[in-house]
């Protein structure tokens, strides 16, 4: 076939001519401006980002400002942060010029006043200890607020709660061991067991993350462990996770009372999904426990499992009632602030890297359902139904807001 000019024109017109290749255009990464203020909350020793995480974020093109002394309680010096690439500032107002604020404790009313519109705040929520107009002030500032304890991962697990639960569970047993010793006014017993002597008995109320890691630590020391929970599925999962058979039971008052009478240590590890933790152990049950036995009420931040529990702090952590030592500090992970800070940092650094890759907070929220689950205020609109109904405030579903954008 002779390729005449007319034939070549007809082939070209029909679509046989070479076409331009369509390549995917890479998403433009966003440069984040992150501020880390010094915590003002009482005995809050943790910090949301450690220097290693700061270095990683700075190397990815993000700017980070850290208030002087922000990491000192966790033994991270200002020089550690400056060498990692952060800018050290000596004024809280300078930190709050950042677009993204990372905090552990919720902001105070004075800190909210320092914030600017459209700013993004990552912090705990802790509504039980917040003043009544806390939410109203956040909404009035038209902020984006994320409760990191409500963020979920791909498996639907709350990574921050899980990490802090692991720390609180393991630490609770170490604290109990200290309180049983003569050095801290205890009865002089070792938490565990040695040949020829009956092992220490540990009763754990709650088979969640705190209960699991408390049981692991107690078993590792050689103690006899008994776990109570109202959920048979959680008890079954606990048995599977521990890899050994231990005493488990649903919470029946008579059975629980019987085992508390012989317990050396009792751990309150229940967590309420909403509202207050149910009070399981009555004062009468506590009065029948052995003199010198120890109660560690990890659930005290939600009201406590024991009727005799009363909030204490890291300065004066214990009190005695009916001859039983009570340890009721609501922020146990802050006791090991450096480890807890690393746990927070592992979670935050990945969220921030993803935010930068997606081009900013709005894009991340649209794409990441886990972070979206933690958003309770979006551009000044309350998006959490539970908070709206509890405080009688107007609210909208964040998924509908995303669909409308």
Percent of the chain with pLDDT over 70: 91
Higher pLDDT, 387 or 322: 322
pLDDT at position 100, please?
Answer: 96
- pTM assigned to the model: 0.87
Segment 342-359 mean pLDDT = 95
Q: How far apart are the C-alpha atoms of 134 and 67, rounded to whole Å? A: 24
The angle, 0 to 180 degrees and rounded to 10, between the axes of the packed helices 337-358 and 51-59 is: 10
Segment 235-239 mean pLDDT = 94
Segment 95-112 mean pLDDT = 92
The first and second tokens of residue 375, run together, are 């958003």
Apex 110 CA angle, 107 and 114, nearest 5 = 85
Q: For the chain, what is the domain count?
A: 2
pLDDT at position 21, please?
Answer: 64
Domain carrying residue 257:
162-330
The first and second tokens of residue 268, run together, are 């309150």
Is 247 inside any structural domain? Answer: yes
Query: Per-residue pLDDT tens for 266-320?
Result: 999 998 776 678 899 999 999 999 999 999 999 998 889 999 999 999 999 999 9
Residue (of 263, 154, 166, 148) closest to 211 by Cα position: 166
**Among 303, 330, 357, where does a domain finish?**
330
Is 10 inside any structural domain? Answer: no
**Among 285, 314, 330, where does a domain finish?**
330
Domain CATH for 105: 3.40.50.720
Is 263 inside any structural domain? Answer: yes
Is 4 inside any structural domain? Answer: no
Residue 281, strand partner residues:
306
Are residues 178 and 304 both part of a single domain?
A: yes
Q: How far apart are the C-alpha atoms of 285 and 171, rounded to whole Å? A: 25
Is the predicted pLDDT of residue 4 greater than 70, yes or no?
no
Residue (of 246, 250, 209) closest to 343 by Cα position: 209
**What are φ and ψ of residue 202, in 5° steps?**
-120, 120
Are residues 130 and 166 both part of a single domain?
A: no
Q: How far apart are the C-alpha atoms of 169 and 164, rounded to whole Å? A: 8
Are residues 300 and 358 both part of a single domain?
A: no
DSSP of 239-254, one letter per residue? HHHHTS--EEE---HH
Are residues 166 and 212 both part of a single domain?
A: yes
Is the predicted pLDDT of residue 17 greater than 60, yes or no?
no
Is the predicted pLDDT of residue 1 greater than 60, yes or no?
no
Is 254 inside any structural domain? Answer: yes
**Among 330, 355, 370, where does a domain finish?**
330
Are residues 232 and 359 both part of a single domain?
A: no
DSSP of 21-37, one letter per residue? ---PPPPPPPPPEEEEP
Query: Per-residue pLDDT tens for 32-67?
Result: 999 999 998 888 999 999 999 999 999 999 999 999
Residue (of 221, 150, 60) closest to 374 by Cα position: 150
Are residues 310 and 341 both part of a single domain?
A: no
């Amino acid at each position: 076939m002779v390729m005449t000019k007319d034939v070549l024109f007809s082939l070209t017109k029909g679509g046989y001519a070479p076409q331009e290749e369509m390549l995917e255009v890479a998403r433009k990464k966003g440069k984040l401006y992150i501020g880390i203020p010094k915590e003002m909350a009482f005995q809050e020793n943790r910090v949301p980002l450690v220097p290693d995480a700061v270095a990683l974020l700075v190397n990815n093109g993000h700017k980070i400002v850290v208030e002087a002394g922000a990491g000192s309680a966790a033994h991270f010096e200002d020089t550690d942060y400056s060498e990692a690439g952060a800018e050290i500032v000596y004024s809280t107002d300078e930190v709050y010029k950042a677009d993204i604020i990372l905090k552990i404790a919720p902001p105070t009313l004075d800190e909210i006043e320092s914030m600017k519109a459209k700013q993004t705040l990552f912090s705990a929520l802790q509504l039980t200890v917040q003043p009544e107009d806390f939410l109203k002030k956040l909404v009035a500032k038209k902020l984006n607020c994320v409760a990191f304890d409500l963020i979920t991962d791909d498996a639907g697990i709350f990574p921050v709660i899980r990490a802090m639960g692991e720390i609180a569970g393991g630490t609770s047993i170490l604290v109990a061991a200290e309180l049983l010793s003569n050095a801290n006014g205890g009865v002089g017993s070792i938490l565990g067991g040695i040949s020829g002597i009956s092992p220490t008995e540990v009763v754990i109320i709650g088979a969640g993350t705190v209960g699991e890691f408390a049981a692991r630590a107690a078993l590792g020391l050689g103690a006899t462990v008994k776990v109570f929970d109202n959920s048979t599925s959680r008890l079954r999962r606990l048995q599977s996770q521990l890899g050994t058979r231990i005493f488990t039971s649903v919470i029946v008052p008579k059975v629980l009372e019987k085992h508390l009478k012989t317990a050396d240590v009792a751990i309150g590890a229940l967590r309420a999904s909403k509202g207050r933790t149910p009070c399981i152990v009555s004062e009468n049950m506590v009065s029948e426990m052995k003199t010198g036995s120890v109660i560690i009420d990890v659930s005290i931040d939600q009201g406590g499992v024991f009727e005799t529990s009363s909030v204490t702090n890291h300065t004066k952590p214990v009190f005695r009632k009916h001859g039983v030592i009570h340890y009721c500090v609501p922020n146990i992970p802050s006791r090991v602030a450096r480890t807890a800070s690393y746990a927070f940092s592992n979670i935050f650094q990945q969220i921030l890297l993803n935010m930068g890759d997606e081009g900013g907070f709005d894009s991340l929220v649209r794409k990441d359902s886990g972070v979206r689950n933690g958003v309770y205020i979006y551009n000044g609109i309350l998006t959490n139904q539970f908070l709206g109904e509890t405080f009688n405030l107007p609210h909208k579903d964040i998924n509908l807001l995303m669909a409308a954008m």
